[in-house]
Structure 1
Amino acid sequence: MSSIIKLCSSLSSRYNPRLIVSRFTVQPRLCSSVKPSSGPSSSSDHDLKASHKVDNFERKILVWTGKYKSVDEVPKMVSQDTMERARNRMRIKIANYMMAATVVGCLIMVYSGKKAAERGESVSKQNLDWHKSYQAKADKTEKDYASKFEHMAREGAEAAKAN
């Protein structure tokens, strides 16, 4: 036992007294027998934990996550840990609902795609139809401009002959 005390005192003079190195691993150990405190015993420690002012939306989050039964029961100040846990639970709930909605949306799209295939509709057919209608509009516009230019050219030629 005395050799351990000598080792601790020699280490404390040269190294960090809380760390003892043993075969390439560092293990935290105390050289003296310090008893850890049993936890917060006074009400002032509890008051320090209640350090987050809660707004209306956060009150609803605390109720939705089941921490309190109604919005009226939520105190004005809660601990930061309580608020973080409630936010994390809400994030998880929202993420789960979004995943479920994504799965339902995918199933709906698969169903509608199969129905469209039964009707003979396809993306490539829609693409061809769109290109045909676009080309028809372009041809019509081109013919309209050509007829306008021909008309203007005739009027210009008649005006030149008249002069």
Structure 2
Amino acid sequence: KRYKVPGSYKPSKFDKKILMWTGRFKTEEEIPSRIPPEMLDIARNKARVKTCYIMIGLTIIACFAVIASARRQAEHHQSLTSWNLAKKAKWREEAAISAESKTK
């Protein structure tokens, strides 16, 4: 089934995917060869809104993952401060060893 829509814009493959993703057309074959620019603008706006909602959801999920990870590390008494202190102590030891070997 093809829709006969008067239009002046030839949609690209990406535009066709947007039109299908936003629910304007069910299959790629239903999309006419030329569409009105307003139809594509509406579809792009809907795609932007859907993408924003997806990104908001992923951000919230990532926040909960970071919170869970921080709680796990707090239970094991791990922190950035203790990690940095251990790393700097290791560097001091390496620097002392290298300085000792240079003086010999």
Please confirm whether the aligned pair reaches a TM-score higher than 0.5, indicating the same fold. yes
Q: Which residue, 130, 153, 156 being the options, matches 2:87? A: 130
How many Å apart are 1:134 and its aligned residue? 1.5
String of CA shifts for 1:48-100, please: whole Å, max 9, x gaps: xx122101111011000000000111112111111011111111111110010
Matched, 1:53 2:42: no
Equivalent residue of 2:18, what SS?
helix
Q: Which residue of 2 aligns with 1:86?
A: 43
Listed as ranges, the gaps of 5+ residues in structure 1 are 1-45, 148-163
Task: Determine the C-alpha separation between the residues in 2 that align with 1:106 and 1:67.
Answer: 34
Matched, 1:108 2:65: yes
Counterparts of residues 13-162 of structure 1 (less than 5 Å): 47=6, 50-147=7-104
Q: Which residue of 2 aligns with 1:20?
A: none
Q: Give the share of equivalent positions with the same residue, in percent.
A: 27
Task: Determine the C-alpha separation between the residues in 1 that align with 2:83 and 2:26.
Answer: 54
User: Given residue 64 of structure 1, which amino acid in structure 2 is its aligned partner?
Assistant: W
The count of corresponding residues between Structure 1 and Structure 2 is 100
- Structure showing greater Rg: 1
How many Å apart are 1:142 and its aligned residue? 1.7
Task: Determine the C-alpha separation between the residues in 2 that align with 1:114 and 1:140.
Answer: 37
Task: Determine the C-alpha separation between the residues in 2 that align with 1:51 and 1:144.
Answer: 79
4+ residue stretches of structure 1 with deviation over 4 A? none
Greater share of strand residues, 1 or 2?
A: 1
Listed as ranges, the gaps of 5+ residues in structure 2 are none
Cα RMSD, aligned residues only: 1.3
Task: Determine the C-alpha separation between the residues in 2 that align with 1:137 and 1:131.
Answer: 10
How many Å apart are 1:107 and its aligned residue? 0.3
Q: Which residue of 2 aligns with 1:156?
A: none
String of CA shifts for 1:130-157, please: whole Å, max 9, x gaps: 111121222222222222xxxxxxxxxx
